[in-house]
Structure 1
Amino acid sequence: MDEELQAIRQARLAQLQAEHGSAPSNIASGPSSNQQQQEVQDEMRQNLLSQILEHPARDRLRRIALVRKDRAEAVEELLLRMAKTGQISHKISEPELIELLEKISGEVSKRNETKIVINRRVQDDEDDWDL
């Protein structure tokens, strides 16, 4: 089943690349070519993520993208970077993805933490000591 799906994805990716590569003059033609280029990049990205993540982990990442698109994109970028540098030797499971999300969440909360400091002036006024 996965091999068939992989073959379909590879064929679709080759088709998109052929369409994109066969018309280089259309790249500067306008927004439709930018949209095609974006579709090709998204297809390649999804293909790589399907190779990196197990199915439950991909589902969780999609659900996260519905709520926090920026966080999901950051996790995807991190996973793709780790895969390109060879830091991933197996498919990432859902618990491993959760652990990665917790690490990222902790880093984000530390950066966004605000600290309120109240400086109270000490008035050393001798008039307050009237007896």
Structure 2
Amino acid sequence: MADADLEEIRKARLAQLRQQSSASPSQNPSGASDQESSRAQREAEQRAAILQQILTPDAADRLGRIRMVKESRATDVENRLIMLARTNQLRAKVTEDQLKDLLGAVAEQQEKEESRIVVNRRGGGGLDDDDDLEDLLKDV
């Protein structure tokens, strides 16, 4: 996708957000107030501006394709990139290869979080404490 195509998509999305924010609260499907929707629109514009500054066109294109497939992963990557930019840890624009590395790191972290096994034991019919075990041994 060329920069012109991305710009057209951004303009269309911005127009859509403006149209939604100009709708009255009763017409707004989320029930959010005009203030909240305009705040969300400003935040989206700020995120887009920051990402445009820190990503090369190829990296921005890849991130857009990722967003189409998995919204949550693209949002996680964007959040990391914005955090790195705000803490001045980026020295140059992020290339597509660097974005791939970041995607790999995000995927590994998500796999680790998903692979954790949590065992919640609840009281009940089992031998939950030493007293139950002692009572059982007395009967023998």
- Which ranges of structure 2 fall in alignment gaps of 5 or more residues? 8-17, 19-31, 118-140
Q: Secondary structure at the match of 1:92?
A: coil
In the alignment, structure 1 segments of 5+ residues that lack a partner are 6-15, 17-29, 116-131
Q: Which amino acid aligns with 1:106?
A: E
Deviation at 1:33, TM superposition (A): 2.2
Instruction: Give the Å deviation of 1:32.
Output: 2.1
Instruction: Say whether residues 1:74 and 2:76 are aligned partners.
Output: yes
TM-score normalised by structure 2 residue count: 0.58
Partner residue in 2 for 1:89: 91
Alignment length (residue pairs)? 91
Q: What is aligned with 2:43?
A: 41
Q: Distance in 2 between matches of 1:104 and 1:41?
A: 23
The Cα shift of 1:114 comes to 5.6
The root-mean-square deviation of aligned C-alpha atoms, in Å, is: 2.4
Q: What SS does the corresponding residue of 1:87 show, helix, strand or coil?
A: coil
- 1:106 is aligned to 108
Moved more, 46-55 or 30-39: 30-39
Provide the identity percentage: 31
What is the alpha-carbon distance in structure 1 between the residues aligned to residue 33 and residue 57 of structure 2?
33
Give the corresponding residue for 2:52.
50
Higher helix proportion, which one?
1
Amino acid at match of 2:39: Q
Q: Following the alignment from structure 1 to structure 2, what is the Cα–Cα distance between the partners of residues 35 and 59? A: 27
- Give the deviation of 1:50 after TM superposition: 0.4
Determine the C-alpha separation between the residues in 1 that align with 2:37 and 2:96: 32
Using structure 1 for the length normalisation, give the TM-score.
0.62
